[in-house]
Structure 1
Amino acid sequence: MPPDVIVNGKFLRAPMTGVHRVAYEICNALADLEAAQAPQLRGRRFEVWHSRDGGDAARSLSLATRQIGPFDSIPWEQLTLPARQGRPVLLSLCNVGPMLAGNAVTMIHDAQVMLSPRSYTFAFRAWYRVVQTVLGRRNRALLTVSDFSRGQLARAGLAPLERIHTVHNGVDHVLRVAADPAAVTRLALAGESYVLALATTQEHKNIAVLLRAFARPELAGVKLVLFGSATREAFVAEGHAVPPGVVFAGRVSDGELRALMEGACALAFPSTTEGFGLPPLEAMLLGTPAVCAPCGALPEVCGAAALYADPHDDAAWAGVLAGLAADGDRRAALGAAGRDRAGQFTWRRAALRLLEVLDGLEPGRSEGS
C-alpha cells in the first residue's frame, strides 16, 4: 500500500546538522504517533524515501523507510523523487525539495541566505534562491520554524503569509542522551568557569563579538569554549584576534555536548539573525542560562527566560557573562526559568502541528480514512 505522505530522505546521506536534526526528530515523533494510533493522524501513513547512500542512516529512524533509485544526491532529489512520487504528498524538511513536484510541502527554516548573504558561498546562495523561489510558487504550502521566519519568507516574496505555516522545533532530544564527560576531561574544564558557544566563522553567527568580549579584563578568569568545526586558524584567517583564554573543542558527540552545556556557566548565542536557535534552548532545558542577542527568532523562542546583550557591544557581553559567572544564585534562578520555558518545545508538539497543517490542505479528510 502506498503511503499518504512521502518524506524526502535526502538528509539521511549527510552529516548531522541542526536542520537535519529537525527532520530526524519530526520523523521519529510521527512514528511515535503512529505506534500510539493517534487520532490526529487521520489514517495517514508516512514513509521516508531515500537514495542508496542514505541506507545506513535510515536505520536510525523509527518511521517506515524505502530505498528508491536511480541516482544519489541532488539528481535523486530533483529527478527521482518527483518521477516516482505518484499521488502522495511529498514533504521536504530541510530547506529544499524537488522543483518538479507540485503536490508538495517544504520546510524552509529561515531567510538567512537573503538576510546574511556573506555567510554563504555564491554557488550556495544562487542554488537556494532558485530552488526556494520555485518551491514557493509550486508547493501547496511552506513550513518554517518560527513566526519571525514566517514573516521574513513572506517579505522575501517566496509565498503569501497565509501559505506559510509555523512549526516550532522541539528540544527534548537532549534529555535522551546521557552526558559524556570525555570532552570536559580532554579540555581540562572540570572545576573551571567557562562559557560555551558555537565555533563558526559565519558572519551572522557573530562569534567575533565574543572574541572581543573575552579580551576584556572583566572575563579574565573565565574561558570561552567553542564547539564545532571552525578552528583557531580559521578565525585568524578571517581577521579575528583570538584571546588566549579561548578553547577550541572541535566536533563533539551529542553526549559530550550535553556534558559541556551542563558544566558551563552560560551558553552565549550572539547571532544577528536566527530562524529558531536550537542551542540556547537545548542549554536552557539542561538548566544552563542562555545569553542571546535580541535578534531574529531568539526573543520569540527563549522569551524572558534568557538574558540578552547588544550583538555589537562587546562590553555588554563581557558585563553580562562576568556577572553570571560570579553569581551562582542568579544562574540557578535562570536555569529553573529556562527549564520551564524550554519544556514547552517538544517534538511531539511539532509533529502534531505538522498534522494540523496537512489537515488544512485536505479539509475533507475524515479520521481513519
Structure 2
Amino acid sequence: MKTIAFNGKFFGAAPTGVHRVAEQLMAATDALLAGRAAAEEADYAVVVRDCVKVPPFRAIACVRESPRVRRMHRIAWEQVYFPFSRRKDFILNLCNLGPLLHRDSATMIHDAQVYSAPESYSRGFRLWYKFLFFFIGKRHKIIFTVSEFSKQEIVRYGIASADKIFVVHNGCDHVLQILPDTSPLAALNLKPARYVLALANTQKHKNIGVLLKAFAGKELENVELVLFGGATRADFEQLGHAVPRNVRFAGRVSDPELVGLMTHAGALAFPSLTEGFGLPPLEAMALGCPVVAAPFGALPEVCGNAALYADPFSPEAWRSALLEAIDDPATRETLVEAGRRQAGEFTWQQAAHRLCDIVKAVNG
C-alpha cells in the first residue's frame, strides 16, 4: 500500500499566504479522507522536520523526525534526508518547493513571480527558486497550481509543460468559521464603512504606492486607508513614498482581527500588478466587503464580475472606484451580493476533492 507523504516543512515556519493555503488544503483533505477512508487505497501522512504543533488530523498521520534529524538544516532535510527516508512514498509538496531527487512527487507552484516580477525579490531568492523550479517542473510527475493564469505563466517561462499542470483553486470559506475581533477599529479610531483596507506590503508588484497617491487627493480626505501587515510607515517612506495623513498602519493582525476589519470596511483595495491567485479579495467578498481590484494577473479570473476594476497606474481611477464602492448604495449592494456568490464558488472541500482525485489517478 503506497503512502502519500505531505511535505510538512512549512509547519513551524513564519506564516505566509502560501503556508495558509497549505494548512487549509490539508485540513480539507483530512476531512475528505476521514469520510471515505475505507475506500482509499493509500495511507496519508504529513512529515514534519521540527517538533511543532500540527493540527489534530483524523485521517492524516503525523510523522515527526528524531531530535538528531531536527538539527539538520531545512534545505538539507528537504533535498536529501526527506526524499531518502520516504523513497517508497509519493511526496506531495504544497509550498512551491520540493526535493529534486524524488521523481515520484507532486509540487504546487503558486505563481511564477520570480520571473514576472523579479524586482520584488532579492537576487539570491530569485536564483534559488528558478533553479529549483527548473528541475521540479521537469522531474516531478505533477505540477499543481492555483489558477489558469498561473498555469499559463508556468508554461510561458518554461517551468513545465501544460499537460502535467493541474489547476486547484484556493478556497475562501475558512473566514466564515472565524469569530470577528473588532478591537482594531477602536484602537485605530475607525468608523465602520469609512475606511479602505489594503496590504501593508512594499513589494513592487503589490503596487500599494498607487493607493498612497490616491488617498493624498482631496476626494478621499474623509476616508482612511488602513494597511495591515508587516510593512511600516517608515518602510514606505524609505522607498520614497509620501504617506498621507489619512493612512493608518494596523501592523500584523490575527485572523479574528482581520475578519473584523474586513467585515466593517468600506472596501478592500487590491491594486496588484500580478497575482497567482489573490486570496484576500475572495475572503473580503465572503464577508460582505466590496472589492476594488486591478484587472491584472489572476484577479479577473478569481473576482469575476463581483469586483470593481481600476487602472493600477492611475490614482484618479482608484479614487473614483473607491468612492463609488463606499458612497453609492446601489453599487455597494450589488458588489456585496455578487461578492458573496462569487466567493461561494471557491471552497476548500472542492479543492481537496480535485487534489485527491488527481493524485489518486496518477498513483492508480
Q: Scaled by the length of structure 2, what TM-score is found?
A: 0.95
Cα deviations by residue, 1:125-173 (Å, 9 ceiling, x for unpaired): 1110111111011101101000000010011111111111100000011
Cα deviations by residue, 1:156-212 (Å, 9 ceiling, x for unpaired): 111111111100000011011100112111111144600000000000000000001
The answer on whether the counterparts of 2:192 and 2:265 sit within 8 Å (CA) in structure 1 is: no
Distance 1:80 1:356 in 2: 28
* TM-aligned CA deviation for residue 330 of structure 1: 2.1
* TM-aligned CA deviation for residue 255 of structure 1: 0.2
Q: Give the counterpart of 2:64 among 49, 62, 67.
A: 67
Matched residue of 1:132: which SS? helix
Aligned to 2:46: 48
Aligned to 2:7: 8
Distance 1:299 1:283 in 2: 15
The answer on whether the counterparts of 1:95 and 1:107 sit within 8 Å (CA) in structure 2 is: yes
Structure 1: stretches of 5+ with no match in the other structure: none
Aligned to 1:339: 340
* TM-aligned CA deviation for residue 111 of structure 1: 0.5
Distance 2:158 2:142 in 1: 14
Matched residue of 2:319: which SS? helix
Aligned to 2:301: 300
Moved more, 135-144 or 330-339: 330-339
The answer on whether the counterparts of 1:91 and 1:104 sit within 8 Å (CA) in structure 2 is: yes
Mark the CA change 1:280 to 1:191 in structure 2 (over 3 Å): closer, same or farther.
closer
Aligned to 2:290: 289
Matched residue of 2:305: which SS? helix
The answer on whether the counterparts of 1:222 and 1:325 sit within 8 Å (CA) in structure 2 is: no
Matched residue of 1:56: which SS? coil
Distance 1:301 1:130 in 2: 29
Aligned to 1:94: 95
Distance 1:192 1:335 in 2: 13
Structure 2: stretches of 5+ with no match in the other structure: none
Aligned to 2:247: 246
The answer on whether the counterparts of 2:148 and 2:167 sit within 8 Å (CA) in structure 1 is: yes
Aligned to 2:148: 147
Aligned to 1:329: 330
Mark the CA change 1:38 to 1:85 in structure 2 (over 3 Å): closer, same or farther.
closer
TM alignment of 1:1-369, pairs within 5 A: 4-37=3-36, 42-52=40-50, 55-59=51-55, 61=57, 63-69=60-66, 70=69, 71-191=72-192, 193-362=194-363, 365=364
State the one-letter code of the partner of 2:21: V
* TM-aligned CA deviation for residue 3 of structure 1: 5.8
Distance 1:198 1:174 in 2: 17
* TM-aligned CA deviation for residue 329 of structure 1: 3.4
The answer on whether the counterparts of 1:291 and 1:307 sit within 8 Å (CA) in structure 2 is: yes
Distance 1:186 1:344 in 2: 34
The answer on whether the counterparts of 1:133 and 1:158 sit within 8 Å (CA) in structure 2 is: yes
* TM-aligned CA deviation for residue 342 of structure 1: 0.5
* TM-aligned CA deviation for residue 42 of structure 1: 3.6
State the one-letter code of the partner of 1:8: N
* TM-aligned CA deviation for residue 61 of structure 1: 4.9
Pairwise CA RMSD: 1.5
The answer on whether the counterparts of 2:283 and 2:343 sit within 8 Å (CA) in structure 1 is: yes
The answer on whether the counterparts of 1:276 and 1:301 sit within 8 Å (CA) in structure 2 is: yes
Distance 1:324 1:110 in 2: 29
Mark the CA change 1:3 to 1:172 in structure 2 (over 3 Å): closer, same or farther.
farther
Distance 1:76 1:321 in 2: 47
Cα deviations by residue, 1:251-309 (Å, 9 ceiling, x for unpaired): 00000000000110110000000000000000000011111000000000110011100
Cα deviations by residue, 1:12-56 (Å, 9 ceiling, x for unpaired): 0212211001110111111101221168x743321100112xx32
Distance 2:273 2:37 in 1: 39
The answer on whether the counterparts of 1:96 and 1:131 sit within 8 Å (CA) in structure 2 is: yes
Matched residue of 1:318: which SS? helix
Distance 1:24 1:240 in 2: 35
The answer on whether the counterparts of 1:194 and 1:224 sit within 8 Å (CA) in structure 2 is: yes
Cα deviations by residue, 1:105-125 (Å, 9 ceiling, x for unpaired): 000000011000010011111
Distance 2:361 2:35 in 1: 23
Number of aligned positions between the proteins:
359
Matched residue of 2:166: which SS? strand
Q: Scaled by the length of structure 1, what TM-score is found?
A: 0.94
The answer on whether the counterparts of 1:3 and 1:47 sit within 8 Å (CA) in structure 2 is: no
The answer on whether the counterparts of 1:206 and 1:270 sit within 8 Å (CA) in structure 2 is: yes
* TM-aligned CA deviation for residue 72 of structure 1: 4.3
Distance 1:313 1:356 in 2: 44
* TM-aligned CA deviation for residue 345 of structure 1: 0.4
The answer on whether the counterparts of 2:193 and 2:326 sit within 8 Å (CA) in structure 1 is: no
